[in-house]
Amino acid sequence: MTLNFEEEGSTVLPLECEALAQKVIAAALDYTGCPYEAEVSLLLTEDEQIRQMNREFRQTDRATDVLSFPMVDYGKAGEFAFLEERDDCFNPESGELMLGDIVISKEKVLSQAKEYGHSVRREYAFLITHSVLHLTGYDHIDDRERLLMERMQREILENLRISRE
């Protein structure tokens, strides 16, 4: 798996952000049954920058914790078989499936960890897990989808032994 990791802004998370992201993304992809080596881009930024992106791409003028930009449009979440017919979803140099981009607000990671009463590590890992599920076609628009995503997120984090602490 290739992780294109970038960080901007002066806010610092008390973690080895890139190493933990690599571990969480790999675990989430294994959990979903992704049969390909994959490429993911992760940008850690701050509230103002993510607010601008949220306004531009989702027409919502507020900071958010995480944005997901999938490169693949799945007919059914977590089903990868159709990709055998496509070559436009794979990096021509590496052959890896280009899943998409994740953008996380470091300020939201810190504030939500405090608000929810768990560690910064857990909040950061949760947001990455949540986003990887979006990058593989999952969503939480209706209650059934939301409950499925919540269960998957919980199981992925449990498999990594990352608890609410």
- What pLDDT was estimated at residue 163? 83
Rg (alpha carbons) of the chain, rounded to whole number: 15
**Rounded mean pLDDT, 75-82:** 93
Per-domain residue ranges of the chain: 2-159
**pLDDT at 87 exceeding the cut of 90:** no
Percent of the chain with pLDDT over 70: 99
Q: 40 has which bridge partners?
A: 3, 100
Mean pLDDT score of the chain: 96
The pTM of this model reads: 0.96
Calculate the CA 87 to chain-centre distance: 23
- What pLDDT was estimated at residue 165? 64
Q: Is residue 34 helix, strand or coil?
A: coil
Does the domain formed by 2-159 have CATH 3.40.50.1100? no
- What pLDDT was estimated at residue 164? 75
CB 1 within 8 A of CB 25: yes
